[in-house]
Each structure stands twice: as structure tokens, then as C-alpha cells.
Chain A
Amino acid sequence: MNLFLAMLPTIMTAATPLLLAAVGELVVERSGVLNLGVEGMMIIGAVTAFAGAQATGSPYAGMVCGILAGAAFSLLFGFLTLTLVANQVATGLSLTILGLGLSGMIGDSFVGTPGIQMGALPIPGLAEIPVVGPILFSHDLIFYLSILLVIAVHWFLFRTRTGLELRSIGDNHDSAHALGMGVIRVRYLAVMFGGACAGLAGAQLSLVYTPQWTENMTAGRGWIALALVVFASWRPVWVLVGAYLFGAVSIGQFNAQAFGFGIPSQFLSSMPYLATVVVLVLISRNRRLTLMNTPACLGKPFVPDR
């Protein structure tokens, strides 16, 4: 039991970058745009956040730099796919490749430099509650932001008029356009939101998770975030469930190895992915639910008729 409680904060730290990037991408995809550049935006966020923290001495300034850089980088994707109507899949992939290369170049001089850790911010009053306090209310700022973001995105998508507009643009951009909605404008904003979230996820990696900069430090987390969006059938709360499930199985398998249960380590390493596939299969048995939530215009180019 004690071990389980000790594992929980570790799981939360591991799940937070996945959750952040996935929630951002969820909004992008709900607007009908498929941005496969999450990994690239994330690593740009990581390197910029690291650089910002080094330059100012403050991890919070670094975090803001990471968010802004992620959003700015996503604008490149937005310009190519929304204004120039380039293929979204190809553009997203090249955004990832560009991000990985560019971040390596920017971060060249930071390799081998210890980073600035963003410390924990215990919430006064709540953090003193036994057991629950240290686990839930003694985290860093980015963790709290990630939870608030899920709630905010859920409320925005399903409880506000703008959220409804965004979803209808994702489902049928021609009708939305005919109704006078600014399809391109909304999509630009969604793409930038996704970029900002990916940037924040990157900042979490280089300021909280492992305070350092090394090339390719995202190590595929952007791709897992993309998979989580599908896993969650484009529902924010399920992204939270998915990210924590993935985090829990990843951390759990390390603990299982250290315990020496004698289960082959390759099998344990594949557990997070296996668990995701199993849940995905279970979810997709409900065809109606999946169809209802999949944005019908996902990845389709939009050229307004004049």
C-alpha cells in the first residue's frame, strides 16, 4: 500500500506531458485539422523553455517561453495547411522532423548544462490533508494546469456556443462556412492552442520531469499523445483516463521488474501499449459512440468557395 502511494506522484509526473499534448491535439482535431507535428512542437517547447529558464533564471518564465514557442511553431503548420491548403499529413510529419532537427541546433550549447527545476507548489490548506494532500495537492504548477485544462476544454467544447461552432466546423466545414462561421479563423486558433499545449508539455519535460536538455528528449511522447486522442474518442475526460492509465502501466512495469516477479522484461515493457490496444478494442465495440465523436472533416482540406 505504501509503495502504491509512493508510485502515485511518479505516475502523475509521467502522465502530465501526455495529457497536455493530447488535450491540445484534441481541440485541433475537433476543429477538423489533423496535426501530426505534436512531437515537433513538443520538443521546440522543451528546448525553448529550457533556454528561457537559463536566460532568466526563472522556470516560470521558461514555461511561458515554451508555450509561446509551441504556438508560434504551430503557426507554420497553420499557414501551410489552412492558407496554402497543403496536405495535412505530410505537413504534420515534416513539422515533427523540422522540430527535432531545429531543437537540436538551438539546444546545441545547452547539452551538459543542468537545468532549473520547477519546484512543487503545495496548495495551502489542502496539502495538509493526510494521504490525499501530499499526493494530489503538492505538485508543480504545470500539473495543476493540466487538470484545469481538461476541465476547461470539456466545458468549452460541450457547454459554450463557440465550442459548438468549433465542433460543427470539424464535422462539416462546408455547412459551417455557409452559415457564416469563420472556418479558417477558428482552425487557426485551434491549431495555435494545440501548439501552446504541446509547448507546455515540452516545458514540463525540460523543467519538471527531467530538468535538462538533450536532443530528442521527447522520445516519442508526441506520438503517444496523438494515439491517446483516438483512444479517448475525442473526449477530454477520456484523454485524462488514457494518459493516467498509460502512465500507471509504464511506472507499474518498472516496479514489477524491480520486485523480481520473473516476468520477461520485454513483455512488461510492452504492457503500456498492450493495455492501450485492449482498451481501444473494447471502446470501439460501441460503433455508434465512436462515429458520433469522430470529427467527420478530420484531415480534409477546406477551400472556401467565393
Chain B
Amino acid sequence: MKKLLLALTASLGMIAAAQAQDKDPTLACFVYVGSHNDGGYSEGHDKARLFLQKEMGDEVKTKYVENVSEGPDATRVLQQLARSGCNIIFATSFGFMDSVVKVAKQFPDVKFEHATGYKTADNLATYNARFYEGRYILGKIAAKKSKTGTAGYIVSFPIPEVVRGIDSFMLGAQSVNPDFKIKIVWVNTWFDPGKEADAAKALFDQGVDIIVQHTDSPAPLQIAEKRGKFGFGQASDMSKFAPDAQLTAIVDHWGPYYVQRVKALRDGTWKSQSSWEGLKDKILIMAPYENMSADTKKMAEETEQKIKDGFDPFTGPITKQDGSVWLKKGETAKDETLLGLNFYVKGVDDKLPQ
């Protein structure tokens, strides 16, 4: 009897253990450079974290650390997360790159994913989104919508990501109106509502009627709304702030990628890679096309579909700003060139800060 009981408990124990192994949730951890509700970039990642949680339910547990400054602080946070039992860690800012490379080496059993970076290892993958595809559509809308033939462009820092956006926007605009002009204003910050608003006012004062921004606050759109002009949202749908001014927005949508990677980890199929996906993979989506004629809307939707079907905005013939040929007819840009892009295309009337 005693033996039977013992055997019974033992087998029960084994079943429980096996079940636990099956059900053991994966712990996915996130590191944000801003706060989880910054209304822009970091919030995009946090929404994706919640999406992951919802999609996978009991199979996953998530936690995040916010406002982590780039540098030694990031290294410390990553080490601490790795030690505390995280199975996969998403470092969501470009500036975490060196920290994540270092910590990935120290913890070979933990998987690391670094957003917008370019250094990989056996347990370190990178992921990024082709935001410039969205900016091509913005360019086409702006050129069609603008009465003055000039758009204002508020930008943060001259890094390849931003330059890609300007070039792609310009190519889109030129495909509608070859003489389209943009006025570029560098505010040298990602986030300062006051400065962004001032830049928008300066641009409107100089006669542009549409503004594009590569900074994170909705302030420029609010100014556009107040002045009866137009603009585009950044990183999230900002139509609440400017219901009559927002034409559309490029919305970050990292959620499906996170689900895919955590599932891969659970299946044992996770491999290091450099993922750079675009509109067709739904890693970025376009907010509803509003405040424009049916004609313009149709053009925007067709362009979006065309890109989803494989069209590359950087398809030749494309001439550089200095007049030399970049891409011949039919040729498309290589990813390496795009990742380090440091020149304007023809028609951009600005000197790129070096």
C-alpha cells in the first residue's frame, strides 16, 4: 500500500513536472529609452508588448524597464534582466547597441533582440522597419495636396534613418510634381514640443501649407490644426490632436514581430538574424487617409498596395543632389547603402549637416 502510494505520488509528481515544463511561460523583457507612455517611439514598443501578452496569454510573461539612458546604465539594466530569468530581451533603442553586444556575450543562454542596430551574434538578432516606405506615400500625398508646391520638413538629427526618410519623401513627391520643393528645419532634438511648434510656425510663416515631421511630439500637428494647414503624424496615429489637419500617419507596429520571435523561441526555431521588414509585413501601418479628396486617397491606397506588392521607392533612375547618378533605370538601392545613407537626392534644397 505504502509502495503504491509512493509510486502514485512519484508519477503524479512527474506528470506535474512535465506539465509545468509545457506551461512554463516564457519571460520576455523589454528595455525602453523613454517612458512607456511617451506618446511616440517607446509607447509603440510598449503597445507591442501588450499585444504580445494578449496574443500569447499564459504562454508568456512580460516585463519592462523604462527611461533607461544609453550607455553604462543600459549595460547594468540588461545584465540585471538577464540574471533575473528573462528568456528573451528586446533592447528597443539604437543607442543600446554596444551594451547589448557586451551582455549577449556574458549570457549565451539568453536571447537578445536589438531594434534598429546592425551588430549581431549567435544569441543576438536585430530588427528594424522600413519606415521610408511610408514616407514615400506621404510625399505623394503632399505633392498632390499642396497648393504652394512646398512642404516643410521638421527633422531631428542627420542620421541615415532620417536622411532615408527625406529622400524617400522627396522621390514620392517628385513622382507627382517634379518641381516640388521642401524646406528643411533641423531642431536637433527628438522631443521638445515647444521647439517643434516654433519650427512649424516658422515654416508656415514662410508659406508652406503642409508639414512633415521626424520628431516625436504632436505639437507641429496642433499648430497645423490651428492655422488650417496640414501635416502627418509620427510613430502613432495623432488624429486626436489634429482631427482636421492629419492626412495620415506612419504607425509603428512591432507587435506581430514580437509574437513571431517569442513563438520561435518556444518552438526552438529561434535563430539570430537581421530583420528589416516593411509595409507588407505590417511592421508599420498607415493610419486612415483623411482630410483629402477621394482622388488623392485613391492614389495613396494604390501606392501603398504597390509597395506591398514589392515596389521599392528607391528604384532608379535616381540622381544625387550633386547631379551624379546614384541608381540607373530599374536598379534598386542595396540595403547596405540605405542603412548608411548620407546624401540627398536631387531637388532637396538643403545642405546635409555632416
Residues of A bordering B, CB below 8 Å: 3, 6-7, 10, 14, 17, 104, 108, 111-114, 117, 205, 209-212, 214-217, 219, 221, 250-251, 254-255, 257-260, 262, 264-266, 269
Contact = CB atoms under 8 A, between A and B. Distances in A.
Contacts of B191: 214, 216, 219
Contacts of B351: 262, 264
Contact of B38 (A17, A205, A210, A215): A215
Q: Is the interface of A mostly helix, strand, loop or mixed?
A: helix
Contact of B222 (A10, A212, A262): A212
A274 to B, nearest CB: 14
B222 A210 contact: yes
A14 B193 CA distance: 11
B194 A260 contact: no
A204 B288 CA distance: 32
A212 B184 contact: no
B198 A250 contact: yes
B206 interface: yes
A54 to B, nearest CB: 14
B185 A210 contact: no
Interface string B167-188: 0000000000000000111111
Interface string B183-203: 111111101111111110111
B38 A254 contact: no
Contact of A10 (B37, B39, B198): B198
A211 B219 CA distance: 8
CB-CB nearest 5 A-B residue pairs: A254-B202, A265-B186, A210-B193, A219-B192, A6-B205
Contacts of A205: 193-194
Contacts of B349: 260
A266 B185 CA distance: 11
A251 B198 contact: yes
A260 B183 contact: yes
B217 interface: yes
B35 interface: yes
A3 B202 CA distance: 9
B61 to A, nearest CB: 23
Given A112-B240, A214-B193, A265-B188, A258 B202 contact: yes
Given A104-B35, A212-B219, A257 B194 contact: no
Contacts of B222: 114, 210-212
B65 to A, nearest CB: 15
A188 B37 CA distance: 36
Interface centre among A205, A221, A254, A266 (most CB of B within 10 A): A254
Interface centre among A14, A108, A260, A264 (most CB of B within 10 A): A260
A87 B86 CA distance: 42
Interface in B298-354: 349-351, 353
Given A114-B241, A212-B222, A10 B353 contact: no
A258 B206 contact: yes
28 contacts: A10-B205, A14-B194, A14-B198, A104-B35, A111-B43, A114-B241, A210-B193, A210-B194, A212-B241, A216-B191, A217-B193, A219-B194, A251-B201, A251-B202, A254-B185, A254-B187, A254-B198, A255-B202, A257-B185, A257-B202, A258-B152, A259-B183, A260-B349, A264-B353, A265-B185, A266-B353, A269-B186, A269-B187
B44 interface: no
Given A10-B202, A250-B198, A258-B206, A215 B184 contact: no
Nearest to B202: A254
Interface in B140-187: 152, 183-187
Contact of B205 (A7, A211, A262): A7
B240 A114 contact: yes
A3 B205 contact: yes
A104 to B, nearest CB: 6
A141 to B, nearest CB: 17
B156 to A, nearest CB: 11
Contacts of A112: 37, 39, 240
A265 B38 contact: no
